[in-house]
């Protein structure tokens, strides 16, 4: 249906006559590399610069939630990420204890997905993969695609005009400088983002919450103390060894997060090897435990969200746009999901099948999600009594974490028919196929191969309609041709292009009748839905595409 997904892209997204690249990405950590991967999958040439010489060597940011793994699945890296994470595949839950060898032990939760209920909602699951293991995977796959990725290269300055962004970049090893002209710039340059500062974008939220020092160390004896307890993290509460212990390989490599109070004048230099080792021994409850400190790095838990996500042709993503408490691993996942939301919109605009105002929907959609998610992360830190965060938890334990992970919605943005007054993160997960929400997962067979409906959504908009909805299929072909949109359509039903597995009610899951239709964006969010037939389906579908994609 319509033109092929890359026909327009390849002809319009090569560097222009004045040497402009489509996209410049500043920052090569998780979010920058994810942006490169997603843009590369969409055929968008780009340049990524990262000031550090290599990917992260510190084991942090390990929790990849199920939505992020869905994105990695569609991008073709899910199996490689799982392989990189295999050493921690059996680790689950958060344990709280006075000391590792003490009697006071409580699981805050023991299983991420107790009973396997998640299989109803997704073709994948959670994955514990530390940043130092995940970044090389993203880098390897991104480099196979359309990006020019340069580590050891920093952004010196930039300025923008109506037609693009001019940036000065410098090779930190040679000192050589180069001027780059790009149509758009994505700032994935971290929580202290110089680009955000240069744009004059302020931040909202309470600010700093607490501070920790992350201590990497080796200990062969600690594995015997931990025993068979395969936790994601253990919060230790004994005042002499308060902190959080995280396994790196469950054998001899570990991380300990020790509370740090710079607000009281405590200096980072006070965390000597001797002090760190003493705290770890106290946390373990083993005075003579072998401890070799191998590194330390400060980190700051905060709740801040940028007041704007873009100025002109420059867009914020990840920590430059929002900071969140680490409890629940919401921050890095939200950033990767920022990148996914922005990538298809850049591809659509650069490819000529969407209008430039589509890019304004990026902030309208992602900022409310970040605000709600950041608040949930802070509340979860209080609930779990995260070491260093000395506040009283709210009422009761948080339930429905899946509503944050899979249920976040876009009430305002590139959607038609969404509940504009609805919350960005509802209290309960409602995977009902309504506009503004993530398209539900349903197992189907395509050409005899079992796939999830989520596997269909990546490069172009997709129209799903049942076997009794021939009018919608014809309307999709005509609308795509009229608008020049690379739309793909599928008939869903017995012996159709997509055949749902036995016992699966795809139409009920997506909230349509046998003669209804659903339009899904390339990022897997429902853009529009008709529960049944209409008088002029071509006109209705054409109008929906125009509104979603900002087409005249």
Biggest CA pair distance of the chain = 80
Pull the structure tokens for residue 223: 């594995």
Confidence category of residue 8, pLDDT binned at 50, 70, 90 = very low
Pull the structure tokens for residue 87: 């050493």
Residue 98 lies in a domain: no
Residue 437 lies in a domain: no
Cβ 57 vs Cβ 51: under 8 Å: no
Residue 544 lies in a domain: yes
Residue closest to 513 by CA, chosen among 464, 480, 456: 464
pLDDT tens-digit map of 34-60: 999 999 999 999 999 999 999 988 777
One domain for residues 336 and 348? yes
Nearest-angstrom CA–CA distance, 429 and 128: 23
Residue 380 scores a pLDDT above 90 = no
Give the pLDDT score at 124.
Answer: 97
One domain for residues 55 and 134? yes
Give the pLDDT score at 329.
Answer: 84
Flag the least confident range among 118-127, 178-187, 352-361, 520-529: 118-127
Instruction: Specify the residue for token string 């550090």.
Output: 52
Residue closest to 280 by CA, chosen among 174, 425, 387: 387
Residue 395 scores a pLDDT above 70 = no
Q: Looking at residues 529-542, what average pLDDT do you find?
A: 96
pLDDT tens-digit map of 98-110: 999 998 899 988 8
List alpha helices for 259-360, DSSP H.
273-284, 330-350
Chain CA centroid to CA 373, Å: 12
Residue 542 scores a pLDDT above 90 = yes
Q: Give the angle 536-537-542 at the CA atoms, nearest 5°.
A: 105
The parent domain of residue 491 ranges over: 443-549
Q: Looking at residues 422-431, what average pLDDT do you find?
A: 92
Q: How many residues does the chain have?
A: 552
Residue closest to 103 by CA, chosen among 238, 221, 222, 240: 238
Residue 48 lies in a domain: yes
Nearest-angstrom CA–CA distance, 188 and 185: 10
Nearest-angstrom CA–CA distance, 358 and 549: 6
pLDDT tens-digit map of 301-349: 999 999 999 999 999 999 999 999 988 889 999 999 999 999 999 999 9
Residue 392 scores a pLDDT above 80 = no
Confidence category of residue 393, pLDDT binned at 50, 70, 90 = low
One domain for residues 210 and 263? yes
One domain for residues 511 and 447? yes
One domain for residues 456 and 491? yes
Residue 264 lies in a domain: yes
One domain for residues 352 and 401? yes
Count Cβ neighbours within 10 Å for each residue of 383-409 and write b for 16 or more, e otherwise: bbbbbbbeeeeeeeebeebbbbbbbbb
Mean predicted lDDT score pLDDT of the chain:
92
Where residue 335 sits, what CATH number does that domain have? Answer: 3.50.50.60
What are the residues facing 498 on neighbouring strands? 492
Nearest-angstrom CA–CA distance, 143 and 132: 17
pLDDT tens-digit map of 282-304: 999 999 999 999 999 998 899 99
One domain for residues 318 and 269? no
Last residue of a domain, one of 249, 277, 302: 302
Last residue of a domain, one of 270, 302, 334: 302
One domain for residues 379 and 513? no
Cβ 81 vs Cβ 64: under 8 Å: yes
Nearest-angstrom CA–CA distance, 173 and 153: 8
Residue closest to 72 by CA, chosen among 387, 316, 332, 323: 332
* HEC readout, 376-393: HHHHHHHHCCCCCCCCCC
Last residue of a domain, one of 350, 376, 405: 405
Where residue 538 sits, what CATH number does that domain have? Answer: 3.40.30.120
Sequence-distant (≥ 6) Cβ neighbours of residue 540 within 8 angstroms: 475, 530, 534
What are the residues facing 355 on neighbouring strands? none
Pull the structure tokens for residue 533: 């037939």
Flag the least confident range among 365-379, 387-401, 439-453, 469-483: 387-401
pTM: 0.94
Sequence-distant (≥ 6) Cβ neighbours of residue 444 within 8 angstroms: 450, 451, 452, 453, 492, 498, 499, 500, 501, 504, 506
Q: Which segments within 459-513 are labelled E, that is strand?
A: 462-465, 488-491, 499-500
For the chain, what is the domain count? 3
Residue closest to 274 by CA, chosen among 212, 210, 215: 215
One domain for residues 328 and 251? no
pLDDT tens-digit map of 152-183: 999 999 999 999 999 999 999 999 999 999 99
pLDDT tens-digit map of 236-255: 999 999 999 999 999 999 99
Confidence category of residue 18, pLDDT binned at 50, 70, 90 = low
Backbone angles phi, psi at 301, to 5 degrees: -90, 130
Residue 411 lies in a domain: no
Q: Looking at residues 354-376, what average pLDDT do you find?
A: 97
Distances from the Cα of 372 to the Cα of 334, 409, 423, 431, angstroms: 11, 11, 9, 19
Where residue 249 sits, what CATH number does that domain have? Answer: 3.30.9.10
Nearest-angstrom CA–CA distance, 236 and 105: 10
One domain for residues 308 and 181? yes
One domain for residues 58 and 175? yes
DSSP code, position 439: P
Nearest-angstrom CA–CA distance, 513 and 343: 32
Chain CA centroid to CA 75, Å: 13
Percent of the chain clearing pLDDT 90 (strictly above)? 83
Residue closest to 290 by CA, chosen among 350, 357, 219, 202: 219
One domain for residues 210 and 291? yes
Residue 149 exposed, middle or buried by CB count within 10 Å (0-12, 13-18, 19+) = buried
Nearest-angstrom CA–CA distance, 523 and 438: 9
């Amino acid at each position: 249906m319509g033109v092929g997904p890359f026909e327009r892209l390849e002809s319009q997204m090569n560097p222009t006559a004045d040497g402009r690249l489509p996209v410049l990405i500043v920052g090569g950590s998780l979010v920058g590399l994810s942006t490169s991967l997603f843009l590369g999958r969409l055929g968008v040439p780009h340049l990524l610069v990262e000031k550090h010489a290599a990917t992260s060597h510190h084991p942090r940011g390990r929790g990849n939630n199920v939505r992020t793994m869905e994105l990695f699945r569609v991008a073709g890296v899910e199996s490689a990420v799982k392989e990189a994470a295999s050493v921690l595949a059996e680790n689950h839950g958060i344990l709280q204890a006075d000391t590792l060898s003490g009697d006071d032990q409580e699981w805050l939760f023991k299983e991420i997905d107790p009973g396997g209920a998640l299989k109803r909602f997704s073709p994948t699951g959670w994955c514990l993969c530390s940043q130092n293991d995940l970044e090389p995977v993203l880098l390897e796959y991104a480099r196979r695609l359309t990006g020019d990725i340069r580590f050891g290269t920093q952004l010196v300055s930039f300025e923008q005009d109506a037609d693009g962004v001019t940036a000065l970049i410098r090779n930190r090893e040679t000192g050589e400088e180069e001027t780059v002209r790009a149509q758009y710039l994505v700032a994935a340059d971290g929580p202290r983002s110089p680009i955000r500062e240069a744009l004059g974008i302020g931040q909202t939220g309470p600010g700093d919450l607490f501070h920790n020092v992350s201590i990497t160390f080796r200990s062969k004896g600690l594995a015997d103390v931990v025993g068979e307890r395969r936790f994601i993290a253990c919060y230790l509460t004994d005042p002499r060894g308060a902190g959080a212990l995280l396994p790196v390989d469950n054998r001899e490599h570990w991380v300990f997060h020790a509370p740090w109070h710079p607000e009281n004048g405590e200096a980072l230099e006070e965390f000597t090897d001797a002090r760190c080792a003493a705290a770890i021994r106290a946390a373990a409850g083993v005075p003579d435990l072998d401890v070799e400190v191998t590194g330390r790095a400060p980190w700051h838990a905060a709740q801040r969200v940028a007041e704007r996500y873009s100025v002109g042709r420059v867009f914020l993503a990840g920590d430059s746009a929002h900071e969140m408490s680490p409890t629940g691993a919401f921050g890095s996942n939200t950033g990767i999901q920022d990148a996914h939301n922005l990538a298809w919109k850049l591809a659509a605009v650069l490819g000529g099948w969407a209008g430039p105002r589509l890019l304004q929907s990026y902030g309208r959609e992602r900022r409310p999600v970040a605000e709600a998610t950041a608040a949930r992360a802070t509340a979860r830190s209080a609930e779990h009594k995260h070491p260093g965060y000395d506040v009283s938890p709210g009422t009761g334990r948080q339930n429905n974490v899946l509503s944050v992970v899979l249920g976040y919605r876009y009430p305002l943005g590139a959607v038609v028919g969404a509940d504009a007054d609805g919350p960005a993160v509802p209290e309960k997960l409602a995977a009902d196929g309504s506009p503004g929400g993530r398209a539900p997962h349903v197992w189907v067979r395509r050409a005899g191969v079992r796939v999830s409906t989520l596997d269909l959504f990546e490069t172009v908009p997709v129209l799903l309609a049942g076997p009794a909805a021939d009018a919608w299929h014809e309307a999709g072909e005509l609308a795509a041709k009229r608008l020049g949109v690379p739309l793909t359509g599928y008939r869903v039903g017995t012996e159709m292009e997509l055949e749902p597995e036995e016992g699966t009610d795809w139409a009920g899951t997506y909230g349509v009748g046998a003669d209804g239709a659903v339009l899904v964006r390339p990022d897997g969010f429902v853009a529009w839905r008709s529960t049944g037939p209409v008088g002029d389906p071509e006109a209705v579908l054409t109008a929906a595409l125009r509104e979603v994609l900002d087409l005249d």
